[in-house]
């Protein structure tokens, strides 16, 4: 029996992340706190702290907890968050191991600022041209997140991004996210050339996740088709699509868009302020669901992989099962190719 962990395509991500396994727990606001990040690190993966719009003093405390834990970790910085530059300066000052830029795309000066402290940088790429730009800025790795993912998403599916970006940039580590929930899928992604995977929904349902039990139970019962993306009603109010389970909270967002469009048309609000109101809504709605357990009016941000996950397990068991599933699938593929 072959062990996937002995092959170079598996080791590449391990060497880059400096972890036992090339598995990343993606940042999720109100969920990816230091406790979850440490749990992922102890289980052999890379946990990512979600900065969101966290107060700077709290962000510093969370980083200090992680530094004292001795596990490897990353911090996720939202480039459109009001506290973004303060978060970036603090992360550089603290010399965190990894910075993941999210929300939008960082400026070259911001990538260079992050790297100045010895930090490794990871950037998202939703198209081939953006991948080229991020590489030219100096990013150390790329993350391809397909539209199947939960939360704020792009418009291109994982399977297209693999062909558009992964196959065209073999010389930089590329991690893939969106719709991944099984070890079998992980194995086949590695055979395509990825350096690692990023997963969110499955870790949001872990025992160590701080999410409310009602939140986890709703995820446990959900089907893939229930996680859909919000539409943009009018180009005068550009909004980033959000994938979540349908509930009253999603309906409320639709009503908010209509209200903001009326204010835009009447000149009662600027486009920037309207977009800020949109993001303010999602932060509050997500807190309602994750922290308060209000699964009707809160935001249930979930990827379509929610339909593949029906257990609440420890982080250790999640990663153990994913690795075992990867090994099994790899051996099946190996035997098939050598028949």
Mean pLDDT by 10 residues, the chain (339 residues): 80 95 95 97 98 92 96 94 92 97 93 96 93 97 95 90 95 96 96 96 96 96 93 85 92 91 92 84 90 95 94 97 95 86
Domain identity same for 111 and 146 = yes
Q: Is the pTM of this model over 0.85?
A: yes
In a domain, 23, yes or no: yes
Domain identity same for 329 and 268 = no
Overall domain count for the chain = 2
Domain identity same for 330 and 189 = yes
Domain identity same for 181 and 135 = yes
Domain identity same for 17 and 52 = yes
Domain identity same for 117 and 252 = no
Q: What is the CATH number of the domain that holds 178?
A: 3.20.20.70
Is 93:86 a contact under the CB 8 Å cutoff?
Answer: no
Is 201:146 a contact under the CB 8 Å cutoff?
Answer: no
Domain identity same for 234 and 138 = no
SS3 132: helix
Domain identity same for 181 and 201 = yes
In a domain, 171, yes or no: yes
In a domain, 295, yes or no: no
In a domain, 173, yes or no: yes
Domain identity same for 137 and 178 = yes
In a domain, 303, yes or no: no
Domain identity same for 82 and 182 = yes
In a domain, 302, yes or no: no
In a domain, 299, yes or no: no
Tokens 């440490």, residue? 38
How confident is the model at residue 5, as a pLDDT? Answer: 80
Domain identity same for 195 and 262 = no
Boundaries of domain holding 269: 223-290
**Sign of the dihedral defined by the CA atoms of residues 38, 39, 41, 42, in that order:** positive
Domain identity same for 207 and 229 = no
**Which DSSP category does 301 fall into?**
B
In a domain, 298, yes or no: no
């Amino acid at each position: 029996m072959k062990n996937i962990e002995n092959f170079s395509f598996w080791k590449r991500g391990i060497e880059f992340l400096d972890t036992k396994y090339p598995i990343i727990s993606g940042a999720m606001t109100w969920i990816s706190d230091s406790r979850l990040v440490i749990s992922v690190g102890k289980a052999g993966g890379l946990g990512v702290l979600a900065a969101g719009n966290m107060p700077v003093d709290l962000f510093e405390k969370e980083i200090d907890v992680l530094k004292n834990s001795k596990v490897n970790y990353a911090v996720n910085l939202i480039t459109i968050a009001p506290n973004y530059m303060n978060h970036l300066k603090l992360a550089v000052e603290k010399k965190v191991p990894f910075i993941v830029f999210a929300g939008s795309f960082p400026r070259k000066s911001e990538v260079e600022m992050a790297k100045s402290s010895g930090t490794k940088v990871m950037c998202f790429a939703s198209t081939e041209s953006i991948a080229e730009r991020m590489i030219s800025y100096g990013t150390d790795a790329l993350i391809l997140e397909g539209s199947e993912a939960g939360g704020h998403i792009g418009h291109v599916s994982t399977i297209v991004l693999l062909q558009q970006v992964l196959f065209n940039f073999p010389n930089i580590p590329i991690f893939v996210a969106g719709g991944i929930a099984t070890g079998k899928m992980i194995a086949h992604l590695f055979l395509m050339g990825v350096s690692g995977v990023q997963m969110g929904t499955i870790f949001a349902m872990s025992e160590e996740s701080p999410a409310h039990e009602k939140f986890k139970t709703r995820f446990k019962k959900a089907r893939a088709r229930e996680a859909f993306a919000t539409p943009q009603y009018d180009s005068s109010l550009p909004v980033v699509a959000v994938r979540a389970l349908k509930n009253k909270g999603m309906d409320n967002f639709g009503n908010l868009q209509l209200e903001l469009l009326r204010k835009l048309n009447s000149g009662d609000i600027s486009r920037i302020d309207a977009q800020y109101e949109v993001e303010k809504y999602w932060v509050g709605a997500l807190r309602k669901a994750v922290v308060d357990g209000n699964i009707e009016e809160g935001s249930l941000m979930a990827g379509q992989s929610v339909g593949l996950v029906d257990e609440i397990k420890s982080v250790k068991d999640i990663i153990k099962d994913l690795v075992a599933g990867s090994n099994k699938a790899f051996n099946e593929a190996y035997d098939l190719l050598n028949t």
